[in-house]
C-alpha cells in the first residue's frame, strides 16, 4: 500500500492509497459518513458508505471525534470538481492513531481572545493553513527573486550593541555585565556586508517594544533587508517595485486556492505591477490637507488614516519620497538638491495596510555621517566606530530597504489584523502561547 499525502491525490486517481491525517470535521447520516481529512498538505473529504464497509468500520467513522489522528485507506476518486482539490477518498479502512477528546475549537464561531489563547491549536484551521501557505510562498519567492538578481543572503546578529532606530522601543538584556539589545534592524551590519559582497539581503526576526496596540504592529516580526553597493535612490526604488510585484504575482500564481479561501480580491492583486507611483512627501501633505485632514502638518510622520487616504488615491503601492531630514534616522543621505530633505522612501501598500517598506540611500560621506552621529547624541567612539569606518576604506554610494514580512503577508492575504500573519504573535499584552 502506498502512503501519500492529500496534495498527491491528483497523481493517484483510481488507486488504493493510505493517508495519515486528522479529522477536521465530520457529518454523517444512517447510511454515509463524510470525514473532512487534514494532513498539513491539504484538506480532503473521505466518504464511508455503510453498505460498502464492515459494520465496525462504519460505527467507528460515525463516532469519530474532531482532531482524532487516523490512518485512512481508500480509493482516490474524482469529486466532479466540487472542491479545488478535485478528488476525494472512498474509504475501505480506518485506523485510529490517537483519540482527541473535547477539542476546544469547534466549527462554531469563537472570539478572538479565545482563539489567541489557543493559537497552538487555532493554527490547524483551514484559514490559518491558508495564511501560513501564503506566508511560505512570499518567503520562497523572496529567496528566488534575490538569488535570481545575484544577491547573497547574509545573517546579521540579533544581539547588538547599538540602536539605530532610537532607544524607546528597545529590548535590553544583560550581556555579561554589559548592555545588549535585541536587534530592531540588521541594516548597519548589512551595509558592512554590502561593502564585502556587493548585493546582499537578510531575512530574520526583529524586535520592537511597540507600546501601542494597532492592527499593524507586532513586538517580534520578520524583516527582509536588502542592501546594495553602487546603487542610488532611484535604482533602489526600481528594485523595490520589481520585488514587491514579484511576490504579489508569485502568491497569485501559486496560492490561488488559499487566497480565494481567504476571500482576497484577486483582481486587485493582479494589478500590482511595477512601476509604482512616486509622491514627494510635501505633495502628500498637500494632498492630505486638500482631503480635509487637519491633524497633520509638514514635518509630521503619517498615521494609519493618512497612509490609507494616500493609498486609496492609487491602484498600486505608492512610494512617498524625499522626507524632511529631521523625522528620519541619522544614516539617510541628504538630498543634494535640498539639504532639508533625505533620499528615502516609504512604500505604502494598497487597501489600508500601511507602510510595508522603509528604505533610503545611505550617507556615504565620513565627515557628514560622523556629524550626524554626534548630533543625535549617539556614541561615535564605541557602538558606531565600525560603522563609521566603512566610510574610510573606499566608501561608495549605496542603498537599501527593509520590508516587513507580516505586513506584506496581511496585505497579500487580505486579512484584517497582523496577528494572523505570524504563527505565534507577540503583542503588547501577549507572549503566550
Smallest separation (angstroms) from ligand ATP to the CB of 221? 4
Q: Which does 217 bind (CB under 5 to 8 A by kind): ligand ATP, Mg ion, none?
A: ligand ATP
Of 222-251, which residues contact ligand ATP (CB under 6 A)?
A: 223
> Can residue 135 be called a binding residue for ligand ATP (CB under 6 A)?
no
Q: By the 8 A CB rule, do 183 and 156 touch?
A: yes
Q: Total residues contacting Mg ion (rule CB under 5 A)?
A: 2
| DSSP helix/strand/coil, 15 | coil
Question: With respect to ligand ATP, which residue has the nearer C-beta, 186 or 354?
Answer: 354
Smallest separation (angstroms) from ligand ATP to the CB of 258? 21
**Phi-psi category of residue 122: left, alpha or beta, with phi > 0 → left and psi -120 to 50 → alpha:** alpha
CA distances from 222 to 51, 203, 247 (A): 53, 7, 16
DSSP class of residue 357 equals: E
Residues 189-218: x where in contact with ligand ATP by CB under 6 A, - otherwise, as a string: -------------------x-x-----xxx
> Can residue 358 be called a binding residue for Mg ion (CB under 5 A)?
yes
Q: Which does 243 bind (CB under 5 to 8 A by kind): Mg ion, ligand ATP, none?
A: none
The number of beta carbons lying within 10 Å of the beta carbon of residue 27 is: 10
Question: With respect to ligand ATP, which residue has the nearer C-beta, 29 or 212?
Answer: 212
Q: Which does 88 bind (CB under 5 to 8 A by kind): Mg ion, ligand ATP, none?
A: none
Q: Say how many CA atoms lie within 13 Å of 128 toward its Cβ.
A: 19
CA distances from 130 to 162, 353, 420 (A): 38, 19, 11
Return the range that interacts with Mg ion (CB under 5 A); candidates 41-49, 90-98, 194-202, 348-356. Answer: 348-356
Smallest separation (angstroms) from ligand ATP to the CB of 79? 40
Q: Which does 404 bind (CB under 5 to 8 A by kind): Mg ion, ligand ATP, none?
A: ligand ATP
Question: With respect to ligand ATP, which residue has the nearer C-beta, 67 or 227?
Answer: 227
Smallest separation (angstroms) from Mg ion to the CB of 25? 40
Q: By the 8 A CB rule, do 16 and 1 touch?
A: yes
Question: With respect to Mg ion, which residue has the nearer C-beta, 317 or 358?
Answer: 358
**Of positions 74, 164, 404, 414, contacts ligand ATP by CB under 6 A:** 404
Rounded Cα–Cα distance for residues 122 and 129 (Å): 9
β-pair partners for 320 = 279, 346
Question: With respect to Mg ion, which residue has the nearer C-beta, 42 or 317?
Answer: 317
Dihedral over Cα of 310, 311, 316, 321: its sign: positive
Retrieve residue 118's grid coordinates: 489557543
Retrieve residue 261's grid coordinates: 479561501
> Can residue 402 be called a binding residue for Mg ion (CB under 5 A)?
no
**Of positions 131, 132, 357, 409, contacts ligand ATP by CB under 6 A:** 357
> Please, what is the Cα angle at 87 between 85 and 92, to 5 degrees?
140
Q: By the 8 A CB rule, do 43 and 57 touch?
A: no
Smallest separation (angstroms) from ligand ATP to the CB of 335? 18
Smallest separation (angstroms) from ligand ATP to the CB of 208? 5
**Of positions 406, 409, 415, 425, contacts ligand ATP by CB under 6 A:** 406
Rounded Cα–Cα distance for residues 161 and 179 (Å): 7
Question: With respect to ligand ATP, which residue has the nearer C-beta, 42 or 404?
Answer: 404
E strand or H helix at 221, and its extent? strand 220-229
Closest listed residue to residue 67, CA positions, set 32, 26, 31, 30: 26
Rounded Cα–Cα distance for residues 239 and 150 (Å): 12
Q: Could you list the residues that contact Mg ion (CB under 5 A)?
A: 355, 358
Q: Could you list the residues that contact ligand ATP (CB under 6 A)?
A: 165, 208, 210, 216-218, 221, 223, 354-358, 402, 404, 406-407
Amino acid at each position: 500500500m502506498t502512503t501519500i499525502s492529500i496534495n498527491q491525490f491528483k497523481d493517484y486517481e483510481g488507486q488504493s492509497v493510505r493517508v495519515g491525517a486528522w479529522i477536521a470535521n465530520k457529518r454523517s447520516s444512517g447510511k454515509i459518513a463524510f470525514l473532512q481529512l487534514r494532513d498539513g498538505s491539504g484538506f480532503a473529504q473521505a466518504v464511508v458508505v455503510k453498505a460498502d464497509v464492515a459494520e465496525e468500520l462504519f460505527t467507528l467513522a460515525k463516532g469519530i471525534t474532531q482532531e482524532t489522528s487516523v490512518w485512512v485507506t481508500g480509493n482516490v476518486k474524482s469529486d466532479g470538481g466540487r472542491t479545488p482539490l478535485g478528488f476525494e477518498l472512498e474509504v475501505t479502512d480506518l485506523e485510529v492513531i490517537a483519540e482527541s477528546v473535547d477539542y476546544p475549537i469547534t466549527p462554531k464561531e469563537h472570539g478572538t481572545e479565545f482563539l489567541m489563547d489557543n493559537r497552538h491549536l487555532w493554527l490547524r484551521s483551514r484559514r490559518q493553513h491558508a495564511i501560513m501557505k501564503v506566508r511560505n510562498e512570499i518567503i520562497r519567492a523572496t529567496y528566488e527573486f534575490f538569488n535570481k538578481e545575484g544577491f547573497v543572503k547574509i545573517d546579521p546578529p540579533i544581539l547588538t550593541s547599538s540602536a539605530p532606530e532610537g532607544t524607546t522601543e528597545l529590548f535590553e538584556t544583560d550581556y555579561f555585565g554589559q548592555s545588549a539589545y535585541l536587534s530592531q534592524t540588521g541594516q548597519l551590519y548589512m551595509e558592512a556586508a554590502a561593502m564585502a559582497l556587493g548585493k546582499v539581503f537578510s531575512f530574520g526576526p526583529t524586535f520592537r517594544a511597540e507600546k501601542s496596540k494597532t492592527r499593524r504592529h507586532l513586538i517580534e516580526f520578520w524583516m527582509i533587508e536588502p542592501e546594495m553597493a553602487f546603487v542610488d535612490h532611484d535604482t533602489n526604488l526600481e528594485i523595490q517595485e520589481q520585488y514587491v510585484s514579484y511576490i504579489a504575482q508569485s502568491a497569485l500564481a501559486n496560492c490561488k486556492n488559499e487566497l480565494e479561501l481567504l476571500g482576497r480580491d484577486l483582481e486587485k492583486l493582479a494589478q500590482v505591477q511595477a512601476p509604482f507611483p512616486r509622491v514627494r512627501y510635501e505633495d502628500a501633505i498637500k494632498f492630505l490637507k486638500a482631503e480635509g485632514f487637519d491633524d497633520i502638518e509638514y514635518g509630521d510622520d503619517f498615521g494609519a488614516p493618512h497612509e490609507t487616504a494616500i493609498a486609496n488615491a492609487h491602484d498600486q503601492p505608492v512610494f512617498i519620497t524625499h522626507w524632511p531630514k529631521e523625522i528620519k534616522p541619522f544614516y539617510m543621505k541628504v538630498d543634494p538638491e535640498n539639504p532639508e530633505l533625505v533620499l528615502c522612501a516609504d512604500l505604502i501598500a494598497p487597501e489600508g495596510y500601511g507602510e510595508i517598506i522603509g528604505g533610503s540611500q545611505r550617507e556615504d560621506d565620513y565627515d557628514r555621517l560622523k556629524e550626524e552621529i554626534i548630533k543625535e547624541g549617539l556614541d561615535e567612539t564605541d557602538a558606531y566606530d565600525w560603522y563609521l569606518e566603512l566610510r574610510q576604506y573606499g566608501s561608495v554610494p549605496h542603498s537599501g530597504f527593509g520590508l516587513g514580512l507580516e505586513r506584506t503577508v496581511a496585505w497579500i492575504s487580505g486579512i484584517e489584523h497582523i496577528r494572523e500573519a505570524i504563527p505565534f504573535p507577540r503583542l503588547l499584552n501577549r507572549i503566550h502561547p
